[in-house]
């Protein structure tokens, strides 16, 4: 079959890598793609936020299956346009993608189905938001309601920090995403991600992972889109996964169906685990980035079969075949990220990297210039490895970084620290 993947990041490179291994895949196109993706698939420079453009491209290229990678085209209704045109599509409708596109909407869903989550309040003006913060005190969490590329969340440890976040958000720091603000109770515990596919009725768990949001070692520095991840996440025990399914995931799926907006695609629950119980932090309506990289490393070719079963409503008969393995990815970012950073620097050493079932460099923000790979984003490369243990995967990923010659980049040295032997 001919398959189109929408997106240009490390997540899409990982999806393309897994899909390409499946014999069902005849032709693979990624739009717009990046320098790494171009090495294993065709890349097409089209506007992936325009449903009509995507549909017309699919018709011209006899596409059989569309996989939507990032959140922005989902929120823009690209999956709706593809389905309306009769294309088999993996990804939720715009109405269902509100689970990520609006923090307040998710909270309303949780309230409706009694899913355990943080206490919250919503504000459209700065003054009452400030009053609420002063009343509640710190620590407290301030979130831009809309999509802010993973960066619209301020975990304020002081009242002053929370008030500054309100000023930033209502002052336009996050554009339209910050026109409405959700303020939440600060939850203590350990955060992890629980991934599952759903066809609107059934849910199939496809793995756990733990992301590292802060830019610096020891979880210090500003929040980022994610500096590394590993899978599985030991904190998400089978018992806690079952509790999350029973109390959070399945009630959400039933509530979305009841509202006439059934959810189809991948959904992941960011969970806060404390005292053996999970509470929902947030939902994301796509594979996480960089969590997707470690999941695909572990799933391999079966990822395509599972996505097809989801899109075709056959999830009840699908199952995941797990190896007893671990995967870990380390993000190399441009110096300055998540603040201002330079583009265009030359990346050397990629030709020295091992690339096999246990080692892969997934490109995130790269471009080709005169045949050479250059940095073209904040998060640039994902060094991803599998091993029989997390220690082995950790060693392999960092050994790859040692082969890289890119002085303009940086990474954390402690990815996986919560689960590694101290």
Torsion of the alpha carbons at 341, 344, 348 and 350, rounded to the nearest 10? 90
| Pair 34, 376: CB distance under 8 Å | yes
Burial tier of 365 (Cβ tally within 10 Å: 0-12, 13-18, 19+): buried
Residue 23: CB atoms within 10 A of its CB come to 7
| Pair 278, 272: CB distance under 8 Å | yes
Which residues are 209's β-sheet partners? 193
DSSP 291: H
- Region 37-59: mean pLDDT is 98
Whether residue 150 is predicted with pLDDT greater than 70 in this model: the reply is no
Spatial CA neighbour of 18 closest among 284, 417, 306: 306
In the chain the domains, ranked by start, together with CATH numbers, are: 2-92 (3.40.50.20), 119-185 (3.30.1490.20), 190-317 (3.30.470.20), 326-410 (3.90.600.10)
What distances in angstroms separate CA 121 from CA 103, 107, 141, 231, 353, one per listed residue?
11, 9, 11, 33, 49
Q: Which of 144-158, 162-176, 245-259, 324-338 has the lowest mean pLDDT?
A: 144-158
Helix (H, G, I), strand (E, B) or coil at 240: helix
- Region 139-167: mean pLDDT is 84
* Strands 65-68 and 2-7, bridge-based pairing: parallel
pTM of the model: 0.92
Helix (H, G, I), strand (E, B) or coil at 89: strand
Tell me, what's the pLDDT at 275? Answer: 94
How far is 250 from 119, CA to CA, in rounded Å? 21
Confidence of residue 80 (pLDDT cuts 50, 70, 90): very high
- Region 50-68: mean pLDDT is 98
- Region 264-280: mean pLDDT is 96
Cα 131-273-300 angle, rounded to 5 deg: 120
Whether residue 100 is predicted with pLDDT greater than 90 in this model: the reply is no
Q: What is the percent of the chain with per-residue pLDDT over 90, rounded to a whole number? A: 88
Spatial CA neighbour of 269 closest among 257, 258, 253, 293: 253
- Cβ-proximal residues to 309 (8 Å cutoff; 6+ apart), any chain: 197, 199, 315, 317, 318
How far is 119 from 117, CA to CA, in rounded Å? 7
Confidence of residue 422 (pLDDT cuts 50, 70, 90): confident
Cα 352-355-361 angle, rounded to 5 deg: 80
How far is 34 from 45, CA to CA, in rounded Å? 10
Tokens of 218: 């020891």
Confidence of residue 168 (pLDDT cuts 50, 70, 90): confident
- Cβ-proximal residues to 418 (8 Å cutoff; 6+ apart), any chain: 190, 210, 235
pLDDT tens across 169-209, in order?
888 776 665 578 999 999 999 999 999 999 999 999 999 99
């Amino acid at each position: 079959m001919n398959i189109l993947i929408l997106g240009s990041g490390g997540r899409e490179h990982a999806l393309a890598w897994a899909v390409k291994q499946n014999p069902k895949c005849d032709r693979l196109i990624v739009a717009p793609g990046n320098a790494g993706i171009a090495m294993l698939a065709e890349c097409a420079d089209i506007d992936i936020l325009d449903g009509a453009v995507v549909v017309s491209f699919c018709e011209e290229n006899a596409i059989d299956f569309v996989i939507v990678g990032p959140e922005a085209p989902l929120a823009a209704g690209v999956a709706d346009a593809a389905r309306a045109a009769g294309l088999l599509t993996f990804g939720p409708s715009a109405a269902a993608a509100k689970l990520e596109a609006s923090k307040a909407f998710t909270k309303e869903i949780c309230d409706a189905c009694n899913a355990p989550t943080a206490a919250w309040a919503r504000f459209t003006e700065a003054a009452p938001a400030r009053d609420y913060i002063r009343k509640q005190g710190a620590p407290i969490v301030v979130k831009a309601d809309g999509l802010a590329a993973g960066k619209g969340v301020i975990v304020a440890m002081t009242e002053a920090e929370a008030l500054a976040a309100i000023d930033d958000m209502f002052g336009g720091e996050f554009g339209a995403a910050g026109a409405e603000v959700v303020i939440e109770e600060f939850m203590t515990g350990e955060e992890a991600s629980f991934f599952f596919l759903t066809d609107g009725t059934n849910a199939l768990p496809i793995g756990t992972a733990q992301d590292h949001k802060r830019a610096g070692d020891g979880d210090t520095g500003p929040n980022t889109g994610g500096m590394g991840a590993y899978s599985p996440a030991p904190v998400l025990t089978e018992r806690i996964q079952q509790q999350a399914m029973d109390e959070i995931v399945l009630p959400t799926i039933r509530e979305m169906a009841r509202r006439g907006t059934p959810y189809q695609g991948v959904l992941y629950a960011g969970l806060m685990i404390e005292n053996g119980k999970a509470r929902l932090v947030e939902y994301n309506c796509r594979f996480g980035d960089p969590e997707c990289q470690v999941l695909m490393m572990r799933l391999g070719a079966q990822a395509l079969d599972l996505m097809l079963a989801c899109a075709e409503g056959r999830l009840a008969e699908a199952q995941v075949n797990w190896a007893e393995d671990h995967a870990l990815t380390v993000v190399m970012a441009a110096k300055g990220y998540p603040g201002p950073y330079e583009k265009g620097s030359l990346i050397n050493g990629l030709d020295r990297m091992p690339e096999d079932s246990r080692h892969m460099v997934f490109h995130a923000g790269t471009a080709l210039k005169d045949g050479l790979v250059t940095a073209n984003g904040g998060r640039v490369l994902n060094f991803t490895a599998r091993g029989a243990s997390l220690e082995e995967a950790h060693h392999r990923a960092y050994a790859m970084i040692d082969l890289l010659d890119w002085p303009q980049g940086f990474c954390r040295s402690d990815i996986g620290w919560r689960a590694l032997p101290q």
